Structure formats: structure tokens, C-alpha cells
């Protein structure tokens, strides 16, 4: 069901996660030769596994078995991964809204406040 060319978001601490070792004293740089530095913490990036592209979209979702109806979790997506990530969430009945990052930051999206 999941295509190998459109990865899902990274899951911190998940089994089988093969995170690169960090170079001591150089946060954001992995220990693998030729690997790119991690983006700055204030730059939103796509949630798709392995993607470091700038985020353009916010996918608001919740799992009704775990979250109250008003709760919204978010994944960020670049243009390339928006459709794949949206389909993944929608097939499970989790997707609630897809808006641009700018709209989300400006509060245009239908989302609860104070979370």
C-alpha cells in the first residue's frame, strides 16, 4: 500500500529506526561522510521520512481512538509529498484539514486554540 518512493514521516524512537550518529560538538551534523547538515530548528521542513525540503503545507489530523475530537496533530509537507501524506491519513480517517503553512501560522485554519 505504501510506495517506497514516497516515505512516511520519521518516527522518533520507533523500532528499526536507523538514525545517523551525531558528531560530538557539532549538533545537526550526522557522522556519515557527505551527509548534509540538519536544517535550522526554526525552518519548518517536510515530515516525510528523509525529506529536508521546506514545508509548504500543514496536514491537520487526529486519531479518534486516541484524541478528543477537537485535538489536532500536524504533519508538515512539501509540495512533492502533500498528496501522499494526505492520502495516508485520509485512508485511515485521520485527516481533518490541509492548509498552507502561511494560513496555519496566521490562524486562518479551522483549529482549536490553546493547544
pLDDT tens for 35-68 read 445 555 678 999 999 999 999 999 999 999 999 9
CA–CA distance, 86 with 96 (Å, rounded to integer): 10
What ranges do the domains of the chain cover? Answer: 41-115
pTM: 0.61
**Distance of CA 84 to CAs 45, 47, 66, Å?**
16, 11, 23
Mean pLDDT of 101-111: 79
Amino acid at each position: 500500500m505504501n510506495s517506497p518512493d514516497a516515505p512516511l514521516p520519521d518516527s522518533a524512537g520507533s523500532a528499526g529506526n536507523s538514525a545517523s550518529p551525531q558528531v560530538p560538538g557539532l549538533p545537526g551534523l550526522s557522522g556519515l561522510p557527505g551527509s548534509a547538515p540538519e536544517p535550522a530548528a526554526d525552518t519548518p521542513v517536510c515530515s516525510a521520512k528523509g525529506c529536508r525540503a521546506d514545508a509548504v503545507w500543514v496536514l491537520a489530523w487526529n486519531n479518534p481512538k486516541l484524541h478528543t475530537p477537537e485535538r489536532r496533530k500536524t504533519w508538515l509537507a512539501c509540495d512533492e509529498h502533500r498528496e501522499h501524506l494526505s492520502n495516508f491519513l485520509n485512508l485511515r480517517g485521520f485527516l481533518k484539514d490541509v492548509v498552507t503553512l502561511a494560513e496555519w501560522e496566521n490562524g486562518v485554519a479551522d483549529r482549536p486554540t490553546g493547544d
